[in-house]
Each structure stands twice: as C-alpha cells, then as structure tokens.
Chains A and B, each alone.
Chain A
Amino acid sequence: MLWSSTGKDEERMQKTQRSCRACGGEMRSVRQDYQFKESGLDNVILKDIEVLVCDPCGSIVPRIPRLNDLMRTIAVAMIAKPSELTGPEVRFLRKFMDETIEGFARKLGVDRSHLSRIENESLGISRQTDRLVRALALIHRTELLEKLARLGRTESVLMQLEEIEPEATRFRIDVAAKSTHEYSYTLEPMAA
C-alpha cells in the first residue's frame, strides 16, 4: 500500500494550500517522481511523492514524509548495492556516520589524502575498503541493521557481500513508501 492509495492522504493533499515563496502565487499539489538532490546525491529518485507546483513560476516544493527513515533507506540501499561504491556514496556513508575524513581514514587504515581521492573519484576504491565501509556503517549505525531487518533483507545483503562486482557501476536508487510507516528501495543500473 502506497501513501498515495489512502483516502485520508488524498483528502489531506487537497487541503494542502501554500503560497509560492518565489512569486506569491497559489501552489497546487500533485504526485510525481522527484530527484532528491537535497540528499547530496544525484541518483536518488523518490517515487510518487507529493510535490507542490507553482504554475506561474515553475517552482517545485517536495513534501517528504518521515525524512529520518528516508535517509536510513538510502544508506541501506548503498550497503546493498551489488557493485563497488562510488566516491559520492562513500562520502554519503561517512557523513551518515558523522565521521570526519581524518577519523574515517584512520578507521579504514588509509591516508586522509587516499580517502579524499576515493571520495572525489580520482581513485577507485579497493575491494577491502569497499566492504569495510559497508561493515563500519552497519556497526556504527545499528538502526541500519534494524532497517534491513524490517525490510527482510539482512540475509540477502550479507550474502551479497561475497558477490560485489569489481566495477563501481552507477545505480539509481528508487525509494518508495512500502507502507504508511516504512520506505523501501530498488536499485536500477544506470546507462553509462
């Protein structure tokens, strides 16, 4: 059941009235896919969420329910990714753990400059570092393990660690509401 399918939600959408902060016009509420750039990543798509659209000036304001769960979902989607992590994904997981670049580099056993180059994609990530980043995220933020358990994907993610492809393929992370209280994700390979 998606949020969009609940009658109560539709009723609330109709009630949502906002003035556009850019032009002062009236905004209308619609449902559509939204590229969640506010996450700091350019490959996260929120499926079928409510957005407010201002027709005169073209402003779009996403209305995102349960942001904390959404950020957890994005983090577990990265940990579950079947190919090596890209630089921005490593940075996302590091910041999700509230780690400085120096502190995280020490935990990974690499130089600060080495980690910086990985994050900026001027250097590929090694197989060991990739797995260690994922494991550290799960250890450091135990709510990610709880999230995986709620989605019933713990076993599959742990099994998948054995089969991570050596290329840092870019995946699109599609996040949708699994229920009224939970987000879920799907990973779609992106065209080169």
Chain B
Amino acid sequence: MREMPAFTRPVNKAIGKTYLRCGRDILSHMVGGRLSKADALKRLRDCLENGIVEYHDHFEKRCRERGIDPQDAQRALQKGTIYREPELDVRFQEWRYRVEWTTPEGQAIALIVAFPEENETLAITALLIRGAR
C-alpha cells in the first residue's frame, strides 16, 4: 500500500477526531476557514446586526460564576476587539476567537466565540482577564 504524504498522516485519535499534522493553510480549508482578526470582528458585528447569535447553554451561568454581568458580556460582543490569533478547537473542528473588552468600570473581560456558519456567531463562554489594568 502506498504511504500517505506526511502532512495528511493521522497522528492522534485520542479525542475521537483524527487531526492531521499539517500546515495552517491546509487546516483552514478543512474546518471552514480561519478568519483574520479583522475579518472575524467584521463577521461578529454583521451577525449582531443582521445575523444570528447563539448562546452556549452555560454561557449565562459561567458569567454569574465569574462575576461578570451578562449585559457586560453583550456589550463586549458589540464593542470588543480581537487581539489574539484564533485557536483551533479540534473536537468541534472550528476556530475560536477571543473578543476582549474593558467595561466602563474597568473590568477586563473576554468572550470566546466561534462562527458555525457565515452569518452565525456562537458565544461559548466569558472570562475575566487576570492582571488587566
């Protein structure tokens, strides 16, 4: 049997999905597109205005547990910025983006979001940013 090219060879099946040792561009095609930070932010804003926002089942609960007002989390979606590069969630084969915002009271928070479809945003969880000023 002919050996598979190195970049498509399965290297880990530990968490139910096979992921491949390959470059970023190949991964981007596999999981429906890795957006630049600016494009991701534009898509987020478009979803808020004309698309659909989904909230993970535990989103509001996590906000309360972490001392974040859910309304501040809403404002973070509307006004926050993406500073970091997205991270790949291997299990669900999607890129996750971190939207950061500081409330008027000075509380720095981050929301983790994904884009399951072109006009849809999934708000997964909210975090307090430690050490933020």
Q: Judge if A162 is at the interface, Cβ distance under 8 Å.
A: no
Q: Judge if A110 is at the interface, Cβ distance under 8 Å.
A: no
User: Least Cβ distance of A26 to chain B in Å?
Assistant: 13
User: Least Cβ distance of B14 to chain A in Å?
Assistant: 15
Q: Are B48 and A22 neighbours in the complex by a CB distance under 8 Å?
A: no
Query: Which B residues fall within an 8 A CB radius of A?
Result: 16, 47-60, 63, 69-75, 77-79, 91-92, 104-105, 116, 120, 122-124
User: Least Cβ distance of B99 to chain A in Å?
Assistant: 14
* Given A22-B57, A37-B70, residue A68 in contact with residue B49 (CB < 8 A): yes
Q: Are B57 and A100 neighbours in the complex by a CB distance under 8 Å?
A: no
- Give the chain A neighbours of B71 by CB distance below 8 A: 39-41, 91-92, 95-96
Residue in B49, B54, B70, B72 whose beta carbon sits within 8 Å of that of A66 in the complex: B49
Distance A60 CA – B60 CA, assembled complex (angstroms)? 12
Interface of chain A: mostly helix, strand, loop or mixed? mixed
Residue in A61, A71, A99, A100 whose beta carbon sits within 8 Å of that of B56 in the complex: A61
Q: Are B72 and A95 neighbours in the complex by a CB distance under 8 Å?
A: yes
Residue in A19, A52, A100 whose beta carbon sits within 8 Å of that of B54 in the complex: A52
Residue in B47, B57, B74, B77 whose beta carbon sits within 8 Å of that of A61 in the complex: B57
Q: Are A18 and B116 neighbours in the complex by a CB distance under 8 Å?
A: yes
Distance A60 CA – B57 CA, assembled complex (angstroms)? 5
Q: Are A64 and B52 neighbours in the complex by a CB distance under 8 Å?
A: yes
Q: Are A95 and B54 neighbours in the complex by a CB distance under 8 Å?
A: no
* Given A38-B60, A40-B74, residue A99 in contact with residue B55 (CB < 8 A): no
Can you list 5 A-B contacts (CB < 8 A)? Answer: A52-B54, A63-B54, A66-B49, A68-B48, A95-B69
